[in-house]
Amino acid sequence: MGRQLGRLAALVTLSGMVFALGPAPVERHTPQIPAVSTGSGAGTVVVDLVDGASEQDLQQIEQLIGADLDWVHPLAIDEALAQGFVEDVPLALSRLSGSALVEVAEPEMVLEAFELPAENFPNDPLYAKQWHLKAMGAPEAWSATSRGEGVIVAVVDTGVSKVEDLEGTKILKGASFVPGTNSSADDQGHGTHVAGTIAQTTNNGKGVAGVAPSATILPVKVLSKYGFGNAAWIASGIDYAVDEGADVINLSLGGGYSSVIHNAIKKARSEGVIVVAAAGNSGRRGVGYPGALEETIGVSATGPGGAIAPYSSFGKGVDIAAPGGDKRKPGGGVLQNTIDGKGGDHYVEYQGTSMATPHVAGAAAVLLGQGSAADAVERLLLSSARGDGEWDERYGHGQLDLAAASKGEARYDATRFALGAVFALLIAQLAATRRRFQLKSAVIAGWAAGGLFFLDSLPLPDLAILGLLTRPVLEWPALLALPGWIHFPLWLSALVPGLLAFTLGAFRQTRPLAFGLACGVGAHLLHGAATSTLDPWWLPVGLGTVWLVLNATVCVVLGLGLAGAQKLEEAEQR
């Protein structure tokens, strides 16, 4: 009895520790430059003897370091390149440094190609000119994350027209709030260019690529063909986008402060919608509205070299910097497909904070497509931005780095996987079930909580079932094109684990699955409460946290019940 109480105390302590955890630190994306190491302990050394060195010379070197060496390759004998394992790398290098037979010696070093796998690069012929996608780390992120599946991005702008390279992009009907204009089609070119950066049809052998090519675009026309619109039109467009289920709103527009627009944005944020807005193109200190609002992610613009663009506004309100282009340099603009004003379309470079903003909106769509909550996505984008960790009036928290943000999300997956497995093991041991049941359930719980995230790095076929296996159970709606259900309170609860506990849990063969799912979902709910990565609809922040913790507790109770039933059945079999 004392041992059981001790195990239960350990479980409760673990739960408290999980709840106290803050957001996991996010890796920053920095170039990795190979450097020669001085080595330490045992390892392999590579020795470049003087050209023409003989076998006898090699034997002298072997005697000098007290280890056997082999020529690296028959074709390298004339270059006298040898390698071998030594017990003390620093000592061997020290001895070799004084030998007249040795030109160079160093620890074995592993280098990597500076090329990403071919599948990370789309076959769009003009992609090579899109420096801006590479600058934000889009190719690296495409290999490890979703591409915005099931996420709706509202382009509140001059409208969106389905030009040739948006043929494969899902574009909703949308609406126009410009008087005298009934269609949400673009009649200026700005909105279509912005939409292309977010979700241009990608890997279709045509034109260019987009940040989140699987996202859905909702066109909301609030600017006339001259590029202007009043506050009432814009506020109405924002309200409409929220009502139509937008997950992200892109505002590549701005000017003076409007309380009407501010109020609309507050309502959007209260519904869990991410709002991204341009900082402005004044080239001076002073961010335009709505980019300067606390409720928006304000975006400044950088050029091809990463420096702030000369036209970009800066100052309080800038949250992040993203590629916006600098056409003073050849090919330095942001290239996308848009209408040409003659009834057709063309590929053209634009520049401005209007072009920087959709890079951030697209990045948000990619992360939301993985099932992350809006607050978690904002935190990942800002905390992973390239910079020195301090806020800067030109770059905000740093330069957009989608690759680093996606790695931060992967770290969440790994943490949840471990928590789920530990929860299952503790509960199963508390009931003193057999080792086989414990191990099987721990694997299932880890998968349910964090997904088999490591499968993303393997060269596996693109199958729907593999997509489900790589993601936590609570994130499945995003993969099934129902991302809103991720925030449905009954989904973020013990309801499904409870149903499975009373069905699958009644049978010995399926009980490990029911038990593992209860533990895994419980761990995910608790982690989501601790890190604000789960966001139940309709519940205030504090009450939402209480909801998640209570349901995590119910999952633990379900797990205890299933483990107890397993123990009784095992006892009867003896």
Phi-psi region of 343 (alpha: psi -120 to 50; beta: other; left: phi over 0): left
Count of positions (residues) in the chain: 574
243 included as an active-site residue: no
Amino acid at 178: V
β-bridge pairing 297-302 and 274-278 = parallel
Cβ pair 351, 311 in contact under 8 A: yes
3-state secondary structure labels for all residues of 517-567: HHHHHHHHHHHHHHHCCCCCCCCCHHHHHHHHHHHHHHHHHHHHHHHHHHH
Neighbours of 67 (CB within 10 A): 16
Cβ pair 471, 448 in contact under 8 A: no
238/382 Cα distance (integer angstroms): 23
Amino acid at 115: E
195/2 Cα distance (integer angstroms): 63
157 included as an active-site residue: yes
Given the residues 132, 190, 487, 527, select the one marked as catalytic. Answer: 190
Given the residues 224, 300, 312, 354, select the one marked as catalytic. Answer: 354
67/95 Cα distance (integer angstroms): 12
β-bridge pairing 248-251 and 175-176 = unpaired
- Nearest in space to 302 (alpha carbons), one of 331, 273, 334, 275: 334
388 included as an active-site residue: no
179/192 Cα distance (integer angstroms): 20
275/358 Cα distance (integer angstroms): 11
Q: CB within 8 A of 32, min separation 6: which ones?
A: none
398/543 Cα distance (integer angstroms): 33
Q: 544: which 2 tokens?
A: 């939402």
Given the residues 48, 124, 157, 413, select the one marked as catalytic. Answer: 157
Active-site positions read 157, 190, 354
